[in-house]
Amino acid sequence: MNRSRSGGVAVAVAAALGVVLNLVAVFALRPVPHTYAPGDVPAWLAETLAHPTASVVSAWSFTVGLVALAAFFLGLAALVGGQRGWLVVGAAFAGLGAILNAAGTLAPIAALHVEKPVGLGLLWLTLLLDSAFNGLLGLGLIALSIGLPADWPRAHRWLGLAAGIACIPVAGQFASDSLARLLAVSAPLWCTWCIWAGALVARRSA
């Protein structure tokens, strides 16, 4: 396997790992229905304390998955042609946003071991960093979609733009349950875009 092909496969694996682990994290939080919603953070903390295993599994899955996504964004910008400036900017916004969020997604584990006021603060920090990630991801997806090569599938480019636009309002989820619920729209879009992008990079590198 040549270097270009192995790089493409690595990018595809990182995309798949990032998406799958995010799905695992969401699935693990089924017993914690108030998670990542600002309307009742005390209920989120109570549910976290009542279901520590689910909270730990979710936290680690989110964190590792977000780091994998950061690696994917960097690899995508490095391996595809196109408008280098837009690709670098897009990878920086989306990748650094993912790393920022990866630190915050471990805070619910810490909330299991501290007094209630501190635990509430940690969950608010988690929520704020997740909000920032969604806004930065949206900007990153838009920049990446603009910078992709001219011969890139048009449908994938438009999906990236749509996903980016859908992610940006979720940056306000720390202040609004309604905006938090927009994740139900934005998350499937960006997850699909990442998996598809990874497959395209792998195919083009073959």
Given its phi and psi angles, is residue 32 left (phi above 0), alpha (psi -120 to 50 degrees) or beta? beta
Neighbours of 3 (CB within 10 A): 8
Q: How far is CA 53 from CA 59, 156, 168, in A?
A: 10, 37, 31
What pLDDT shows up at residue 171? Answer: 96
Calpha distance 51→33 (Å, rounded): 11
The residues spanned by each domain of the chain are 3-205
Calpha distance 91→73 (Å, rounded): 5
C-alpha dihedral sign at 23, 29, 34, 36: negative
What pLDDT shows up at residue 154? Answer: 96
Give DSSP secondary structure letters for the chain.
--HHHHHHHHHHHHHHHHHHHHHHHHHHTTT-TTTT-GGGHHHHHHHHHH-HHHHHHHHHHHHHHHHHHHHHHHHHHHHS-S-HHHHHHHHHHHHHHHHHHHHHTTHHHHHTTS-HHHHHHHHHHHHHHHHHHHHHHHHHHHHHHHHS-TTS-HHHHHHHHHHHHHHGGGGGTTT-HHHHTTHHHHHHHHHHHHHHHHHHHHHHH-
Q: How far is CA 73 from the centre of its chain?
A: 11
Specify whether the CB–CB gap between 171 and 145 falls below 8 A: no
**Residue 115, burial from CB neighbour count under 10 angstroms (0-12, 13-18, 19+):** exposed
What pLDDT shows up at residue 204? Answer: 83
pLDDT average per 10 residues of sequence, the chain (206 residues): 68 97 97 93 97 97 98 95 93 97 97 97 97 98 96 96 98 94 96 97 84
pTM of the model: 0.93
What pLDDT shows up at residue 82? Answer: 86
What pLDDT shows up at residue 5? Answer: 63
What pLDDT shows up at residue 2? Answer: 47
What pLDDT shows up at residue 170? Answer: 97
Q: Say what percent of the chain tops pLDDT 70.
A: 97
How do residues 90-115 score in pLDDT, each as one tens digit? Answer: 999 999 999 999 999 999 999 999 99
